[in-house]
Amino acid sequence: MMILPVVVDHVCLAVAFIAPVYVVWRSSRWQFTIPLGAFIFWFTLLIAGPIISALDPLRDAAMLDTIWFFFGWILGLFYAWVLYMIRRAFLRKKPSTSTP
């Protein structure tokens, strides 16, 4: 059945993109949040490759999985950094609620 690999792929993509948003938004220490968000992004998609390959033997994406293993963390770092910059910009534009 070809529907199950597609569902697993979409679920893993959703987790990979949403979980770092939560991690970066909840913590203000960029030294920890950017690497942790990048790791979650990279690891989720790293695990998704073999699972989808097991569900769909005709996939034949071993080379892509290997490339992701070695270089996917770079994209993860970039994604987590962008999320952190968006968070900083959003919090900087937030009006102050204190009264003088």
DSSP designation for 57: T
pLDDT at residue 20, as a whole number: 94
Q: How many domains does the chain have?
A: 1
pLDDT for res 75: 94
Separation between Cα atoms, residue 1 and residue 58, nearest integer Å: 12
* 78 falls within a domain: yes
Nearest to 60 by CA among 69, 50, 68, 70: 50
Whether residue 67 has pLDDT greater than 70: yes
In a domain, 62, yes or no: yes
The domain of 52 spans: 29-89
- Residue 14 domain flag: no
Query: Is 17 a member of any domain?
Result: no
Residue 96 confidence (pLDDT) above 80: no
Cβ count near 31 (within 10 Å): 8
Is 67 a domain residue?
A: yes
Query: Whole-model pTM above 0.85?
Result: no
